[in-house]
Structure 1
Amino acid sequence: MGILSWLKRRRQAPEADAAIDSAQVREGLERVVRLSPQLRLAAGYERRLLHGVRVSLRYLDELIGELPPACEASGKAWSTDAWIHAFFAAPDEVAQALSRSEDLRRFFHEHPGADEAFAVLGMAMEERRTLGAQQHGEMVRTDAVRATLSFSDYQVRMCGLTETELRREIELRMLEQLALEGISRMAGSAARRDALEQERALLKTRLQLLERQGVGLGEVVGGEATVDAAGRERLKAQIAENARHLAKLGMRSEALQQELEQIGEVLDNPAAHMDVTVRHVRLDAMNVIVDDSSPTPAHTIDLRVARIPALSGRLRAFALVRFARRDLLPVPSVLDQASRPLI
C-alpha cells in the first residue's frame, strides 16, 4: 500500500482512529521513548508524540492486516505451496536456511513447549534477465529474453508463539523503525551543526588575519588595503550566512526539543518513511516470470517488499511462515551443509 492509497483511506475512514485503543498507543509511546530515554526531559513530550504514535499505529495496523496468513515452511510444503516453491530452489533448502537462524534457535530454547514458531522470513530478491527458450504460439524461440527471480540471504529475526503475537510485534518493531528515522535526522543536524561551527571559527580566524594585515600594511601598500577591505566584507557576509544556518538548527540547549520534533514529524507521516508494496508475479517451476497468455504452467503470487529509506532504501522481500520444531536441524548438520562446495 502506497502513500496515496493510505491518504485516501485515511480521508474516507477518519473514525478508524478509534480502532487503536489507548493501551496500544501507550505501549507504542513507551517503545519510542525507550530508544531515546532523554525525551522524557523534553517539555510536553507525551502530548507531542501521542498523536504521531496513534497515526503511525493506524497506518501500520493496515499494512500488517493486509499480509497473507503464515505459510508452512517445510520441505513437504515446497511441492504444494507456490510461495515456498518460489523462495527456495529445492525442498531440503527450506530447513537448511531457517535452521541457520540463531533467533529461531533461541526461540525454541526459550519456549520448550512450543511445537512450532511463527516467524518473519526476510530475503534478498534479485531479478535477472537471460536468453533462453520460450514458446510463442506454436513456435519455440531459443533466443528469447527471460526474466527470473531468485531469493537469497534468508534471515529470521522475529518469532512468536502465535500469528497474532507475531503480527503485533511486527507492528511495534516498525514503529520503532520510524522513531529511528527521526533520531537519524537529528543526528544529521548535529553533524551539520558541528561543521558549521568549525566553518565559522575558521572564517573568524581568516577575518582577523585580514584585518590585521589591513591595519599593519594598509597605509604602506595603498591598493592592497582596498583588496583587503573587499575581502573583509566578503568574509563578513559568509559569517552572517553561516550564523543564519546555525540559527535554523537552534542552540544546543534546544537539541532535545528538536529531537522530539523530528521524531514527531516522522510519526505524523509514516507512509513517507516506510512502505510495503505488493508485486504480483506469475512464475513457472523454474522461477521464470511469464505473462498470463503463456501456456507454461505457472502460479501467480503476491510478493511483499519492504522499503526503508533509513537503510539506504534497501528492498527486502518477506513473508510470514510457520516452522516446526521437528524440522530444526542440529548445528553440525547446518554447518556441514553451509561448507559444501557450490559446484
Structure 2
Amino acid sequence: MTMQDHSASGLSTIKVRVDDRPAILVGSGYVALLLALIFLVLTVWIAYGAFTRNAYGDLHASTWSLLCALLSLIVAILFGSSIYSLQPNESAVLTLFGAYAGTDSAPGLRATVPLFKIAKVSQRVRYHECGKLKVNDLIGNPIEIGAVVVWRVDNSAKAIFQIDDYADFVGAQTESALRHIAGRHPYDFDEAVTHAGPDEAVSHDQVAARTLSLRESGDQVTNELIVELKERLAVAGVTINEAWINHLAYAPEIAPVTLRRQQASAVIAARKLVVSGAVDIVKEALDKLKEQTDIDLDPERKAAMVSNLLVVLVSDKDATPVVNTGTLYA
C-alpha cells in the first residue's frame, strides 16, 4: 500500500458520522431545582450553626461546620448549573469532554450532569428566500429565477457536528440546486421544440427534459428541486417541507426580443385560425349555393368567387364592393 493509500484510509477512519440518539443521565429539572434549594437552605443552616459564643461572649466558628457548609453550597451550585429548559420543537445536544452523549428533545425544565455541555438546536420550521439568480436555461437563454424553500432541522446531532453553520449551508445548497434545475429545462416548451429542429437527433433524457418547461411545468420542476435539496441537505440533518419558484423571467438583455417573438407567434396562430375558418365558410357557401339554387359554377367563376370571399373574410379592413357588369368570357 502506498503512502497516498495510507493517508486516504486514515482520513476515512477519522471521519466520524453521528446520528440522533436519546441522551443518558437526563431527568426532570424540577427535581434538580428542588434539591438545589434544599442544599442551599442546608448551607445557610449549617453556616449559621457554625458560629457560637463562649462564656466571655467571644464569637467562635467551627471549622468542620464551615467545611460542611461549603460542601453543601458546592452541591447546590452543581444542581443549579445542571438545569436547562427546552421549548416545544427544540432539542439539546449533549457532549461530555467533546464526546457526543445524546440528544434530549423533551420540552420543559430538564437537568443533566453538570459536566455536560449543552447546545440547543431549534427544530422549528424556517424559510429561506433565494434571491434572483441569473442563469442559462437548457437552450442557453439567460433567465432570472428565484425560489423560496421551507426547511427545518430533522437531526440535531448532524446539524451540530456535520456542518459548521447549517443555516448558511441551506442557503448555499439552495442556490446551487436552483441553478442546476434551471439549466436542465428550457424556459418555454415552444422554444425547446424550435431550437431542436425537426431533424435534430436528441437523446431520450433531453427529450424528457424539454417536455418540462420552467414556465408551464412549475409543479414538476418544483418537485425536482425538493428531491435534489433533500439529497444535498441530508448530511446536515435538514429536511425540506416545501419549495416554490417565486420569480421567473427572461434576462433584461433578451426580454424585448423574446416579447417580439411571442407576439409574432400569437399573430401567426391567429392568422392560421382565421384562414382555416374562412376556408370552411367558403366551402359551405359553395355547397349551399349548389344545393339551393342548382347553380353549377364553372371552374373559372368558382375560382373567382373563392378568391373574393377569402379576401373579404381574411382581410383586416372592410371590403369595397365592385359591381361587375361584364362577363368573364370574351
- TM-score, length basis structure 1: 0.20
Q: Rg larger in 1 or in 2? A: 2
More contact order relative to length (CA 8 Å, sep ≥ 6): 1
More helix by share: 1
